Structure 1
Amino acid sequence: MRSRSIAWRLALAFAAVCALVLSAIGVFLYRSLASEIAWRDDMALLGRLEQVRALLADSDSLDALQARPRLYQNMLGNLDSLLLVQRADGSNVITINPRQRALPPVQAISRDQSPQRRDVLTWQAADGVELALLSGQVQGPNGESLTVIAGKVLSEREQMLGSYRLRLYLAVGLGAVLAFTLGLVLLRRGLRPLRKMSEALRGIDLRSLDQRVPTAGTPTELLEPVHALNGMLVRLDDGFQRLSQFSADLAHEIRTPLHTLLASNGQALNYPRSSTEYQEVLASNMEEFERLKRMAENLMFLARAEQAERALDLRTLELHEIGDELCDYFEALADDREIRLENTFSGELLVDQQLLQRALGNLLANAVRHADAGSVISLRRRDEPGMCWLQVHNLGPVIAEKHLGKLFDRFYRVDPSRAEPGDSGGLGLAIVQSIMQLHGGRVRVSSGATGTGFELGFVTSR
């Protein structure tokens, strides 16, 4: 489980980053030290060559130089320093080579040339020891041409750099371990709000959807996820409440026709009746079955619409033709109540024809059912920037303000006692809202002294 832990992964990453940074710093310091030591050794060789040149130029004879120990007394006891003064025939005038190392041929710089660092030669002996050598020509006391070879064994330098490398390795390793340990501790403390959030979420179930994740003391980086979680809980709570209310309303709506069917059938079975009376019972039962069928179809449509299972068949339609078809369909029902239908739709609209007809049909059915006798129901179009509004307007009883926000809820009726056999079971306006949601539009209603208007808003510019 540790491999899946965010704290462990981040702590390892933090340790790796620290190790890389420490390594980079260590490499820089190591190379700086190596360069500084190499510069110091090269400067020492250059100075030694100049000193020997001056000493030879000031001396009276070579024999006197060999007899004077002050020439090389500063090198006594130093096994890493080399100094050779050779004649032109290769014989040695002065030899300081404590370990008697064989030296390679070295190109000597001319006596009138000042030595430079580039003249220093680094050579590796057969035993793996490196030497730094510098050779230069010089004029002896009697005008004799001599060659001076100054050298230094670099073992001390390698030992020093090796010890420094070991310390760098230890420092990088200990730094990575320390970074991992501190990072793990700090990350666990930093992730404490997440654990508190998890504890708060574990305490929320179907019976406590009203609880929210506390934001007090929450770090700034976690405030947005906490607000998103609380928003999700609000939506879940609202959805659960709606589902609970829907279940209760559905049970209530189904119970009424079922009780009617059971009562009528029980009475028909308890007492002998004529064939005419049995036919009346069957006709009454058929009305209740039709009501249950419409309710089931409407519920099926709503379920599919919410799951987005229906693909829209968008077409550009002539709105006036759609209005004429709907007016023709509801004309007989309107004539029974002496209501006149007026179609003033115009223009074109990109919509699903069947869904548009169903939405407008549900609104017209409600309008005809609730409009005052002898009034006019009109179909109107009104355009706004980016929106096209289709309105079904009728004159009738004013809908109270408290009901307007609930009209599109399932099974909601302003006056349940006015339910009729042919109505939609309180699902008509809910279907209208689902159709508009499928189209990405809106639905709204207004009611007042000038009448009641239901409007469908379609987006015309994307």
Structure 2
Amino acid sequence: MSERRHSLAWRLALAVAVVCTLAMSAVAVFLYRSLAAEIAYRDDLALLGRLEQVRTLLHDSDSLGVLQQRPQLYQNMLGNQESVLRVRRADGSLVFEINPHGETLGDPPRIGVSQQPSRTDIRQDRNALLLAGDAVGPAGEALTVMVGKRLHEREAILASYRLRLYLAVAAGALLAWIIGLLLVRRALTPLRDMADALALIDLRNLHRRLADTAAPLELQAPIQALNGMLARLEQGFERLSQFSADLAHEIRTPLHTLLASTGQALNQPRSSDEYRELLGSNIEEYERLNRMVENLLFLARADHGQRRVHLQAIDLAHLGEELCDYFQLLADERGACLEHSLHGTLNTDLQLLQRALGNLLANAVRHAKPGTTVRLSRHDDAAFVRLCVRNEGDTIAPEHLPRLFDRFFRIDPARTEPGDSGGLGLAIVQSIMTLVNGKVSASSDDGVTTFTLSFPNAGAVQLDSYVDSDPSSA
């Protein structure tokens, strides 16, 4: 089952809506609590003032009888149907009571005549706020006054306000989601433009690049990374195309030789010696093809990291003696001498090091002038152990130095000799140095050419995957 795909625009719009909803909810809670606190404060102040007014009225009246006969006066004073008032004598008998809704009222604690009422004296009883205090009536009679206010009106106001806040937050969240979706879709336009531009790039126009001049700052880094990737793909494709052409050219030569010699031999009867000579010549071409296939296979495995590096401490002096002995016959044929000054140890892969130095020595001997010496030496610095192969011969032009390690590259394509690597020897050296986290470089000046293998002092890094490969030199 494929994973469900979610739109980035919808996700961002939903995130904007959630953030706006949380912000509006926080504001709504603050406003609601502020309103509730303000209403409660005003109701408390009204009760405190009402208690003082009733006390003053009772104290200034001529008689309670007159007050009892005029209850409308108190109703007008209270001003609405939510307020209650009750006055009792000291013995508990009721003087008068105003209770429009007939609520059952409690009996809260009373405050003294001389005591100034405060908000802490107000008590909530069921659905009403009550405040009681002692008072002095006409002729100094002791009375008890209780004023109150029902909470139904307050609760109705707050309930209506809550509903409006809920609707406002919901409408705001929906509006934020819609506007956020529109803005995000507009903001993602550069991404769609970039996708359209990438869709137009194929093998025929790998040279095209994405324009970053009008792109937002956040997209400039990805665009530059994509342009860099396209440049590497273009270079890789060009190298692959060149490699394919060079490979076809290299294989065509021995194949044409084989076909021509075999066809010529079949045109007319030949003696056994002539057939034997033909087969010997064909074997040389087969060996050349075989070396080329093995070298290509090694390069392919090395490029994909399929060759494990077996680290071990190598005695460089002993390795130098072995290599010089192995290539001495080739050097004698060229009229050159071999010498080495290798010393100490190096922690790396023995077979890979043998193959890299063998390829460099074979290349140096083939291009050395007769009577000169090919030298193998070691030079260390703070960061690298450097193994150098030096020979005297023709100076390599500076424009050729960067391409020496390209596959099938030859400075003089016409100079092919039996047993050569088919233009892959130096490419194999570079792949080996990549495997061991080192590097190879070349320099040529005044007829002296030096190839240098640089190994980190810390040693090579062992890779995870491996395949068996033939470690024989190319």
The residue type equivalent to 1:148 in the other structure is V
**2:465 corresponding residue in structure 1:** none
**2:318 corresponding residue in structure 1:** 321
Q: Deviations over 1:42-101 (max 9, x none)?
A: 110011112222222333432243345685153466211100011123221121111221
* Structure 2 CA distance for partners of 1:13 and 1:2, relative to 1, 3 Å: farther
Residues in 2 aligned to 1:50 and 1:26: alpha-carbon distance in whole angstroms: 36
**2:67 corresponding residue in structure 1:** 65
For residue 30 of structure 1, the aligned residue among 29, 32, 46 is: 32
Q: How does 1:289-368 map to 2 (within 5 A)?
A: 289-368=286-365
1:178 matched to 2:175? The reply is yes
**2:434 corresponding residue in structure 1:** 437
Paired residue secondary structure (2:214): coil
In the alignment, is the contact (CA less than 8 A) between 1:75 and 1:81 conserved in 2?
no
For residue 214 of structure 1, the aligned residue among 211, 216, 232 is: 211
The residue type equivalent to 1:230 in the other structure is N
1:121 matched to 2:118? The reply is no
Residues in 2 aligned to 1:262 and 1:379: alpha-carbon distance in whole angstroms: 42
For residue 460 of structure 1, the aligned residue among 457, 462, 465 is: 457
The residue type equivalent to 1:322 in the other structure is L
Q: How does 1:195-214 map to 2 (within 5 A)?
A: 195-214=192-211
The residue type equivalent to 1:274 in the other structure is S
In the alignment, is the contact (CA less than 8 A) between 1:3 and 1:9 conserved in 2?
no
Residues in 2 aligned to 1:32 and 1:3: alpha-carbon distance in whole angstroms: 44
Residues in 2 aligned to 1:158 and 1:220: alpha-carbon distance in whole angstroms: 53
Residues in 1 aligned to 2:104 and 2:191: alpha-carbon distance in whole angstroms: 72
Residues in 2 aligned to 1:54 and 1:191: alpha-carbon distance in whole angstroms: 74
Q: TM-score, normalised by structure 2?
A: 0.93
Q: How does 1:241-280 map to 2 (within 5 A)?
A: 241-280=238-277
Aligned residues: 457
Q: How does 1:213-232 map to 2 (within 5 A)?
A: 213-232=210-229
Q: How does 1:130-209 map to 2 (within 5 A)?
A: 130-209=127-206
Q: Deviations over 1:14-33 (max 9, x none)?
A: 11110111011000000000
Paired residue secondary structure (1:65): helix
For residue 420 of structure 2, the aligned residue among 395, 415, 423 is: 423
Unaligned runs of 5+ in 2: 460-474
In the alignment, is the contact (CA less than 8 A) between 1:362 and 1:429 conserved in 2?
yes
Residues in 2 aligned to 1:138 and 1:347: alpha-carbon distance in whole angstroms: 114
Deviation, structure 1 residue 461: 4.4
**1:239 corresponding residue in structure 2:** 236
User: What do you get for the CA RMSD once the two structures are aligned?
Assistant: 1.7
Deviation, structure 1 residue 332: 1.6
Residues in 1 aligned to 2:138 and 2:79: alpha-carbon distance in whole angstroms: 28
1:80 matched to 2:77? The reply is no
Unaligned runs of 5+ in 1: 125-129
**2:390 corresponding residue in structure 1:** 393
Residues in 1 aligned to 2:118 and 2:321: alpha-carbon distance in whole angstroms: 107
Q: Structure 1 residue runs of 4+, over 6 Å off?
A: none
Residues in 2 aligned to 1:196 and 1:356: alpha-carbon distance in whole angstroms: 51
Residues in 2 aligned to 1:320 and 1:62: alpha-carbon distance in whole angstroms: 130
The residue type equivalent to 1:145 in the other structure is A
In the alignment, is the contact (CA less than 8 A) between 1:2 and 1:8 conserved in 2?
no
The residue type equivalent to 1:436 in the other structure is M
Residues in 1 aligned to 2:109 and 2:78: alpha-carbon distance in whole angstroms: 27
Paired residue secondary structure (2:106): coil
Q: Deviations over 1:286-316 (max 9, x none)?
A: 0000000000000000000000011111122
In the alignment, is the contact (CA less than 8 A) between 2:75 and 2:98 conserved in 1?
no
Which moved further from structure 2: 245-254 or 397-406?
397-406
Identity of aligned residues (%): 60
Q: Deviations over 1:325-376 (max 9, x none)?
A: 1111111211222322111112222211110110000000001111011111
**1:379 corresponding residue in structure 2:** 376
Residues in 1 aligned to 2:142 and 2:347: alpha-carbon distance in whole angstroms: 108
Residues in 2 aligned to 1:262 and 1:188: alpha-carbon distance in whole angstroms: 66
For residue 48 of structure 2, the aligned residue among 46, 49, 56 is: 46
Residues in 2 aligned to 1:152 and 1:3: alpha-carbon distance in whole angstroms: 59
1:12 matched to 2:14? The reply is yes
**2:469 corresponding residue in structure 1:** none
For residue 287 of structure 1, the aligned residue among 280, 284, 288 is: 284
Q: TM-score, normalised by structure 1?
A: 0.95
Q: Deviations over 1:89-125 (max 9, x none)?
A: 322112111122111232222333222212211222x
Deviation, structure 1 residue 143: 3.2
Paired residue secondary structure (1:113): coil
